[in-house]
Structure formats: C-alpha cells, structure tokens
C-alpha cells in the first residue's frame, strides 16, 4: 500500500470497532481483472488450524466435478499447504512469454510457493516483498480460462488480505471456522473486514463440526455448540455447511489426494458437493447483481450526459 510523504495514507482511512477499514482509499481506481478468470472467491479464516486449506482443496475438486473450470491460488505464503494436498510436488514450467504455468491435478489448476521451494524451507520475507510476490501470482501466471479462482488466504485480516482487496477484483468470500468460541470471535472479525470493504460474504462453513467414526460412520460432536448459526443470523450471512472431521480426509491429504476425488460416495464428500452447489449459485447471483449495477450506472451516466447537454 502506498503512503504519502509523511508516512500517512494519502486518503484518510476510517475503521470500525473491530479496527477494520470502513472506506476504501483505492476505490477511485478501477480494478483490473485477472486475464482468463471470470470470478475470484476468497476462502478465509479468522484463526489458523481450522482446516481452511482442506476445505479449499475439496471445494475446488467438487466444483470441478460439476463441470466448472477451477483454479486455486495459495496465498498463504508463510504456510503453504495446497501443493501437498493436491500432490503437485516441486517445480513449475514457464511459457514462451516467461509466465508461470500452473500445476494441474485432480481437475484443478493451482499455484503455490510450495511448488518452488523444498518442504522444509522457510519463507523469510517482509511485507512489501510478500505483496509483490502475491500480485505476481495473479498477474504473471498463465492462468487458463477459469470459471472460478479460489484463493486460499492466510488466517487473520492482515497485509495479504488488504493487498488482494486493493489490487484484485473479488467476487466474494467464504469463511471457515470451527465451533470453538475463540474461532467464532475471529470469524466475526473476518466478516466485519469483508463487509467493511463491501465484499459479499457468501457464507460460513463450520468445519470439524463432529467426528465421523471410521467404523460405523456415526458423527460425534467434538466441541460444545457455541452459536455459529446464531453468528450467521446476527451478521446476516448464510450458514453454508457443517463438515465433520473425517480421518480418511486427513490421510488422503497427506498423500496428495483430496477426499472428494478418492471417495466421492463418502458422506463428507457429499457435503462438499452440496457446498460447491451453494458457492456456485452465490457466484452466479453476485455476477448478475454486478451486471445489473453496471447497467444502472451506465444508464445514469447517459441520462446525466443528456441533461448536461440540454442545460448547456
């Protein structure tokens, strides 16, 4: 984010009680779309360790199974997981223009910094370098024609999130949380951030809602109910799905195979399929709403033009 000569933002930034930005200092500059990508959906979490990357990978595969062209961008630069979960390994090729070619596995195109460095390597970068690398993953990657690009965000509401929202046109976001109270508090901060920046929140996903017994398939609760559905009602966002903790999903993820691909008939896979349908519908509705707003703005502009012409 650029600053003025005195280190202050060139346009004042107001924050709400959560410390989230209420007004966008960049809204005067039109955001340039990512070539070949129709819609971008952020997968966020307020707290780490809630299974956000697992949800992202399985959601991507479920969307691809429904016939959509799907990509995943691993924006969690300090803790990348997508390459391992999709089994894409190390190394990325480049096209004749020098752009990075995404990996392709399980019907999903993906890019992660984990494709470029050994698993044990640590990324020790300061904020400006992270922002530059992040934007390169959007702009300097030869993304094929995609219906939806899912972006696996790092936890929290920091520099990566604001860099994306400042530079990249986002269709909407989904937020992943566990039923724990601490996770719900952080999820609410995430909702406040997106709403403060006028980004639609398609809904909340309750991960690890219970434990799916590998023997009988019965689901047992892991945490006391802490009011995630009440949070959805209070913040006016849909409750999208409750996903149980399936031991098979974690074992398959370590092997680089998403559960939705390996066990499509499993109960958890069916939940992901339903979730994919809901996300696809939300994207479609938001696309129509954006088109309607654009048409209204164009019509208003034409009317103002003729009014000014007649007045002159």
Identify the band that residue 301 occupies on the pLDDT scale cut at 50, 70 and 90: low
pLDDT of residue 26: 43
- How many angstroms from the chain centroid is the CA of residue 120? 25
Size (the chain), residues: 312
Which has more pLDDT, 64 or 229?
A: 64
Q: How confident is the model at residue 217 (pLDDT cuts 50, 70, 90)?
A: low
Percent of all residues in the chain with a pLDDT value above 70, rounded to a whole number: 83
Residues with Cβ < 8 Å from 283, sequence gap 6 or more? 39, 41, 148, 171, 172, 202
Cα dihedral across residues 97, 102, 108, 111: positive or negative: negative
| Neighbouring-strand partners of residue 148 | 39, 70
pLDDT digits (tens, 9 = 90+) for 245-291: 888 888 898 899 999 999 999 889 999 999 999 999 999 999 888 88
Reported as a pLDDT band with limits 50, 70 and 90, residue 28 is very low
Q: What is the mean pLDDT of the chain?
A: 84
Is the pLDDT reported for residue 25 higher than 50? Answer: no
pLDDT band at 5 (very low <50, low <70, confident <90, very high): very low
Separation of alpha carbons 137 and 97, rounded Å: 15
Across 197-206, 278-287, 300-309, least confident range: 300-309
- pLDDT, tens digit, 9 for 90 and up, residues 138-187: 999 999 999 999 999 999 888 899 999 999 999 999 999 998 888 889 99
d(CA 312, CA 271): 61
CB 21 within 8 A of CB 15: yes
Binned at pLDDT 50, 70 and 90, residue 50 comes out as very high
Which domains, and CATH codes, for the chain? 37-300 (3.40.50.300)
Q: Which of 181, 233, 225, 173 lies closest to 203, judged by CA?
A: 173
| For residue 3, pLDDT beyond 80 | no
Q: What is the CA radius of gyration of the chain?
A: 20
Q: What is the DSSP letter of 114?
A: G
Burial class (CB in 10 A: 0-12, 13-18, 19+), 101: middle
Q: Which two three-digit tokens encode residue 87?
A: 């089994």
Specify the pLDDT at position 298.
66
Displacement of CA 283 from its chain's centroid (Å): 12
């Amino acid at each position: 984010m650029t600053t003025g000569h005195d280190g202050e933002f060139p346009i004042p930034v107001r924050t709400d009680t959560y410390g989230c930005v209420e007004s966008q200092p960049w809204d005067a500059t039109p955001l340039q779309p990512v070539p070949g990508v129709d819609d971008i959906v952020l997968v966020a979490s307020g707290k780490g360790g809630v299974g956000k990357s697992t949800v992202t990978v399985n959601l991507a595969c479920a969307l691809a199974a429904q016939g959509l062209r799907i990509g995943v961008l691993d924006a969690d630069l300090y803790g990348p997981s997508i390459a391992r979960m999709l089994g894409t390994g190390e190394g990325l090729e480049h096209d004749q223009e020098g752009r990075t070619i995404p990996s392709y596995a399980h019907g999903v195109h993906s890019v992660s910094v984990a494709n470029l460095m050994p698993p044990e390597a640590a990324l020790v970068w300061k904020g400006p370098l992270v922002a530059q690398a992040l934007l390169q993953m959007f702009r300097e990657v030869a993304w094929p024609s995609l219906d939806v690009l899912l972006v696996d965000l790092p936890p929290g509401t920091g520099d990566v999130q604001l860099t994306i929202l400042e530079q990249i046109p986002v269709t909407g976001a989904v937020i992943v949380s566990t039923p724990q109270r601490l996770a719900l508090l952080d999820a609410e901060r995430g909702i406040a951030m997106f709403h403060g920046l006028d980004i639609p929140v398609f809904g909340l996903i309750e991960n690890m809602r219970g434990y799916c017994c590998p023997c009988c398939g019965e689901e047992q609760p892991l945490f006391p109910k802490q009011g995630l559905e009440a949070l959805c009602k209070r913040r006016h966002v849909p409750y999208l799905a409750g996903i149980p903790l399936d031991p098979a999903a974690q074992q398959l993820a370590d092997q680089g195979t998403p559960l939705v691909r390996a066990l499509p008939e499993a109960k958890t896979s069916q939940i992901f399929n339903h979730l994919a349908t809901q996300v696809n519908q939300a994207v479609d509705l938001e696309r129509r709403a954006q088109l309607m707003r654009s048409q209204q703005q164009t019509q208003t502009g034409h009317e103002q033009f003729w009014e000014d012409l007649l007045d002159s």
